[in-house]
Amino acid sequence: MSETSAASAAELRAALVRALREARRITSPQVTEAFAAVPRHVFLPGTGLEDAYRDDAVFTKRAADGRPLSSVSAPWLVATMLERLAPRAGDRVLEVGSGGYNAALLRHVVGSTGSVTSMDIDPDVTGRAEVCLKQAGFSDVRLVTGDGTTGVPDGFPYDRLVVTVQATEIASAWLDQLTGDGRMVVPMRLRGLGRLLTFTRERAGLWRGDGWEQCGFVAMQGPGARDPVATAVLADGVRLRWDGGAAPDPVRLATAFRAEGREVWSGVTVTATEGSRAVLDLWLATTLDAFGRLHTSSSAVPQVLPGGTPATWGPDTLAYLVMRPVHGDATRFEYGVAWHGSDAGVAEAVAEQLRAWDRDHRGGPGPVLYIGAASDDEATCVRRMSERSGPRLVLAWPRSAACSGPRL
Ligand SMILES: C[S@@+](CC[C@H](N)C(=O)[O-])C[C@H]1O[C@@H](n2cnc3c(N)ncnc32)[C@H](O)[C@@H]1O
């Protein structure tokens, strides 16, 4: 690299660190120093310097059908995960899902008395990461090729474990390989919602996860792979997506959707900057048995909310979350429910849950995702999230007023 481009890489890196600090994605001195020191462009050969220091993911491998298989994750997300993981000097860290960049940042934070093991199911990825890590001066990161759901038994216990691929379950091996006061950060798909969870051990046999930042990741491959989120096309440019729970009948819902839409308003108003959706969507995913998200091009159904609006259904009725401005107050919006079909009760049930969230949980600590058995003492409103092989996952809302949602 020429002297000029080395200088501009350093300037671009410094600008990225400033932006991440201003956005409060980086908050600690350790993570600041690591981001300032590790040259991201070295992990992205063939990508221009400007793009290497843009706050975006760069896809490094795709399947034949175009699906992304591997990437160097977006700096804002890498920074958020590092801050949540809170690695300390001297820690042993296991990263599931490699790329090299995050492993180098981790290596910088844990220092010469710590260690970093980075594993990936794809030998192309570990091979590439090894070359880039060496080039960036981090040749002592241990790279392992294999399925991440087994962890890396040779080398445990780990003080910190970070998963950088989307999981739908928690592998028992991850819990078994962590120290008693270990910490684990996992991007999860829960009823189709992508959320970042930070887990700590509450007591023997019970782990507690929270955080809930919205995030997307490439899907897990190998034995931990799960069906993609199911999709049905209801009309031109209108898709309903759901992930477990009561499945819709797409043909009947498409017919319902052609009927004229009606609306029910909840009386619950929020400010545009309150950021209520991240938690509200989780509340609806907990309390509605039929839960999915409606995605549209804005011209198809203009009132559908960005990023996919929470939706529910009955046999012949589709209902979904909408907002309208509050008359005379440009800063506030009211939540409501648009519905098509024959059963007004489907929309009323959503409106009732909007009011329950407003009354019992708005502005509160939010839910906890327990791994293991959460008892009724710890929560009133719960939903079991994993039906498959791994440890039991229970999404639980703190005890407050009576909860009209399902119980264990
Ligand atoms: C988003 S990339 C990781 C990004 C990386 N940590 C970085 O430094 O930016 C996700 C990686 O997970 C890997 N992966 C997918 N399924 C896996 C599995 N079962 N075990 C281990 N790695 C897996 C993919 O091959 C891909 O390289």
The DSSP 8-state label assigned to residue 169 in this structure reads: S
Pocket probe mutation, ligand 1, options 43, 78, 164, max atoms within 8 Å of Cβ: 164
Are 72 and 191 found together in one domain?
A: yes
Residue 148 alpha carbon, nearest atom of ligand 1: 20
Cα 317 to Cα 340: distance, rounded to the nearest angstrom: 6
| Domain assignment of residue 139, yes or no | yes
Are 219 and 240 found together in one domain?
A: no
Each residue's pLDDT, cut to its tens digit, for the chain (408 residues) gives: 666 676 699 999 999 999 999 999 999 999 999 999 999 999 999 999 999 999 999 999 999 999 899 999 999 999 999 999 999 999 999 999 999 999 999 999 999 999 999 999 999 999 999 999 999 999 999 999 999 999 999 989 999 999 999 998 999 999 999 999 999 999 999 999 999 999 999 888 899 999 999 998 999 999 989 888 999 999 988 999 999 888 999 999 999 999 999 999 999 999 978 888 888 999 999 899 899 999 987 666 666 677 789 999 999 999 999 999 999 888 899 999 999 999 999 999 999 999 999 998 888 888 999 888 655 555 555 666 655 666 788 888 876 544 444 333
Are 209 and 104 found together in one domain?
A: yes
Cα 266 to Cα 353: distance, rounded to the nearest angstrom: 9
Contact 92, 114 (CB under 8 A): yes
For the Cβ of 75 lying below 6 angstroms from any atom of ligand 1, the answer is no
- Rounded to 10 deg, the angle between the 344-360 and 277-287 helix axes is 120
Measured in angstroms, how far is the CA atom of residue 312 from the centroid of ligand 1?
A: 33
Q: Which of 165, 190, 224 is the last residue of a domain?
A: 224
| Domain assignment of residue 235, yes or no | yes
Number of domains forming the structure of the chain = 2
Measured in angstroms, how far is the CA atom of residue 335 from the centroid of ligand 1?
A: 38
* Active-site residue identified among 2, 5, 71, 73: 73
Cα 17 to Cα 326: distance, rounded to the nearest angstrom: 39
Measured in angstroms, how far is the CA atom of residue 165 from the centroid of ligand 1?
A: 5
CATH assignment of the domain containing 103? 3.40.50.150
For the Cβ of 218 lying below 6 angstroms from any atom of ligand 1, the answer is yes
Cα 278 to Cα 377: distance, rounded to the nearest angstrom: 25
Are 181 and 291 found together in one domain?
A: no
Select from 143, 185, 139 the least CA-distant residue to 160: 185
Cα 148 to Cα 174: distance, rounded to the nearest angstrom: 9
Measured in angstroms, how far is the CA atom of residue 71 from the centroid of ligand 1?
A: 8
For the Cβ of 99 lying below 6 angstroms from any atom of ligand 1, the answer is yes
The DSSP 8-state label assigned to residue 166 in this structure reads: B
Cα 387 to Cα 389: distance, rounded to the nearest angstrom: 7
- Residue whose Cα lies nearest atom 27 of ligand 1: it is 70
Cα 53 to Cα 41: distance, rounded to the nearest angstrom: 7
Are 214 and 282 found together in one domain?
A: no
| Domain assignment of residue 395, yes or no | no
Q: Which of 173, 199, 224 is the last residue of a domain?
A: 224
For the Cβ of 147 lying below 6 angstroms from any atom of ligand 1, the answer is yes
- Residue whose Cα lies nearest atom 6 of ligand 1: it is 98
For the Cβ of 125 lying below 6 angstroms from any atom of ligand 1, the answer is yes
- Domain range spanning residue 143? 42-48+57-224
Are 189 and 274 found together in one domain?
A: no
Cα 104 to Cα 106: distance, rounded to the nearest angstrom: 5
Are 212 and 67 found together in one domain?
A: yes
Question: Does residue 73 have an active-site annotation?
Answer: yes
